[in-house]
Amino acid sequence: MAEKTYVADIDRSMYDFRYDEKDAYRIEEGLSPEIVEQISKEKNDPQWMHDFRMKSLEIYNHTQMPDWGPSIEGLNMKNIATYVRPNTKMANDWDSVPEEIKDTFERLGIPQAERKSLAGVGAQYDSELVYHNVQDFAEKLGVVYSDIESALHGPYADMIREHFMKLVPPTDHKFAALHGAVWSGGSFVYVPEGVHLEIPLQSYFRLNAKGAGQFEHTLIIVEDNAYLHFIEGCSAPKYNVANLHAGCVELFVGKNSTIRYSTIENWSKNMYNLNTKRAKVEEGGKIEWVSGSFGSHVSYLYPMSVLAGRGASSEFTGVTFAGKGQNLDTGCKVVHNAPDTTSVVNTRSISKGGGISTFRSAVVINPQAKNSKSSTSCQSLMLDSESRSDTIPAMDVKTQQADVGHEAKIGRISDEAVFYLMSRGLPEDDARALIVSGFADNVGKELPLEYAVEMNNLIRLEMKGTNG
């Protein structure tokens, strides 16, 4: 019988450090109209946003918990503080950020990345952005990259009101309603017509507070004939109580424009990651999702693409690595609402150490989406028999004039491939580790080099194993 290679869990030690909530303002735990009122007051909401929050809370209270995915019984909203504000104002230079917070982001490599390869950075600590800056050249192109609260009161206030939670309405599901009630932080990006921002923007979300929730809102509007690459990162130290992330991302892709939205998610293993992401793509536009899910205790994450204009397209490239104590339910949704639209889905998932990985998807081709094409490929790797890997892809095709294909495979590391590599001189350990790391390369090759390296830190470098 072949011996097995031990594949290590992802090393989260670089993310697992914490500071006391020194001088932070922390709202009482739980969810009530009084708490939502208080958050609205703290945020200095305009009246419409205050009313929106209260309406969302009402929807939350009347909406059922999802029962089709991983259990979220360990999440009790009575124990979650929905707003924790660090004792600092947002700065646009790192020297003005309090030492401990600055140290946090330096250890995560954010200022260094900003200097080397980013056009702008937003850094959120608990419920508020503590740093936000956009490079001069991007500003000169007319790119707006700000915290969303400032945008609510500035020249883009009407644009925010017109778009905020219009793609993901609070009625979408229970945690969209929760987000509508208690959202705080996040970014607003506006890219004018014809602007190609070749260098990415990045937001990084760090949840430091124990027993807290993070509910940032990202709203990106890219006008016609433009391009944006936006990178999102997130992490948290591990606590022995549940934390919650229920963010929301809304992307509006103009005619013949492209947004590439890359995420490396590495929440700690006490995190319930119930995040919602959605893009609406106009004629000839394209949304590219690149998604790496490595962290959290439980994840529900399915970026959705609504292909609204003729010739719009979407690509979803994802990898999920579920280790011990993790139940990661990830995938995507695509709705073809216009003629000549195309979608491509390409995912990999790895389960080990009792981890559960589920690929869940939906491709809907509506009657008006004539001549649409959709292709889905998902592959799953089981590294032991304590783990679980499921694929649940749904296809709903409502027009004859469409071509829809799907293929999926679940299996183990191929003995033949290991034999081949060994015949080329690799030890068995290295051969197996190489195969496992190569399995996730669909995402790695889509990321900028620096982030691919980070992902390799998360997977490949941890796969040096021992037989046993």
Nearer to another protein, 127 or 387 (CB): 387
Q: How far is the CB of 314 from another protein (least distance, A)?
A: 18
Which lies closer to another protein via its Cβ, residue 146 or residue 372? Answer: 372
Task: Report the SS3 class of residue 305.
Answer: strand
Among 402, 436, 443, 447, binds another protein (CB under 8 A): 402
In whole angstroms, the minimum distance from the beta carbon of 369 to another protein comes to 11
Angstrom distance (rounded) from CA 404 to CA 133: 43
Among the listed ranges 18-26, 272-280, 282-290, 385-393, the one in contact with another protein (CB under 8 A) is 385-393
**Is 408 one of the binding residues for another protein (CB under 8 A)?**
yes
Per DSSP, 87 falls in state: S
Least distance from another protein to the Cβ atom of residue 301, Å = 14
Alpha-carbon dihedral 457, 460, 464, 467, rounded to 10 degrees: 140
3-state secondary structure at position 202: strand
Q: Is 389 in the site for another protein (CB under 8 A)?
A: yes
- What's the CA gap between 309 and 316, in Å, rounded? 18
Site membership for another protein, residue 467 (CB under 8 A): no
- The residues with which 275 forms a beta bridge, in sequence order, are none
Q: Is 403 in the site for another protein (CB under 8 A)?
A: yes
* Shortest separation between residue 396's beta carbon and another protein, angstroms: 5
Should residue 380 be labelled a site residue for another protein when binding is judged by CB under 8 A? yes
Distance CA(201)–CA(133), nearest Å, equals 10
Residue 400 binds another protein (CB under 8 A)? yes
C-beta closer to another protein: residue 203 or 357: 357
Site string for another protein, 13-52 (x = CB under 8 A): ----------------------------------------
Token output for 374? 């959709």
Residue from 55, 163, 310, 388 touching another protein (CB under 8 A): that is 388
> Rule CB under 8 A: is residue 431 a binding residue for another protein?
no
Strands 25-26 and 84-85: antiparallel
- Indicate whether 453 belongs to the interface with another protein (CB under 8 A): no
- The answer to whether 428 contacts another protein (rule: CB under 8 A) is no
Q: What is the chain's Cα-based Rg?
A: 22
Backbone angles phi, psi at 368, to 5 degrees: -80, -5
Of the candidates 383, 440, 443, 455, which one interacts with another protein according to CB under 8 A?
A: 383
Contact call for residue 113 and another protein (CB under 8 A): no
- Cβ count near 396 (within 10 Å): 11
Question: Which stretch of DSSP H or E encloses residue 104?
Answer: helix 99-107
Q: How far is the CB of 173 from another protein (least distance, A)?
A: 9
Q: How far apart are CA 50 and CA 62, in angstroms?
A: 19
Q: Is 337 in the site for another protein (CB under 8 A)?
A: no
Binding of residue 417 to another protein (CB under 8 A): no
**Contact region for another protein (CB under 8 A) — 112-120, 153-161, 221-229, 381-389?**
381-389
- Residue 48, classed as helix, strand or coil, is helix
SS3 393: strand
410 belongs to the binding site for another protein (CB under 8 A): yes
- Tell which one of 395, 417, 421, 422 touches another protein (CB under 8 A): 395
Q: Are 163 and 169 in contact (CB under 8 A)?
A: no
Among the listed residues 202, 256, 391, 437, the single contact to another protein using CB under 8 A:
391
* Count of positions on this chain that bind another protein (CB under 8 A): 37
Nearest one of 125, 144, 148 to 134, comparing CA atoms: 144
Task: Name the residue nearer to another protein (CB basis): 317 or 361.
Answer: 361
Determine the 3-state secondary structure of 367 from DSSP.
Answer: coil
Q: Mention every residue, 6+ apart, whose C-beta is less than 8 A from residue 93.
A: 133
Q: Which is nearer to another protein, 150 or 377 (CB)?
A: 377
169 binds another protein (CB under 8 A): no
Instruction: Pick between residue 13 and residue 64 the one whose CB is nearest to another protein.
Output: 64
Asked if residues 6 and 468 have their Cβ atoms less than 8 Å apart, the reply is: yes
Residues 425-453: b if buried by 16+ CB within 10 A, e if exposed? eeebbbbbbbbbbebbbbbbebbbeebbe
Question: Does residue number 63 form part of the binding site for another protein (CB under 8 A)?
Answer: no
When asked if residue 406 is in the footprint of another protein (CB under 8 A), the reply is yes
Site for another protein in 259-298 (CB under 8 A): none
Least Å from the CB of residue 160 to another protein: 27
Euclidean distance between CA atoms 66 and 69, whole angstroms: 7
State in angstroms the smallest separation of the CB of 399 from another protein.
6
Q: How far is the CB of 21 from another protein (least distance, A)?
A: 37
Mind giving me the DSSP string for 115-179? HHH-SEEEEEETTEEEEEEE-HHHHHTT-EEEEHHHHHHSTTHHHHHHHTTTSS-TTS-HHHHHH
Contacts with another protein by CB under 8 A lie at 67-68, 360, 362, 364, 367, 380, 382-385, 387-412
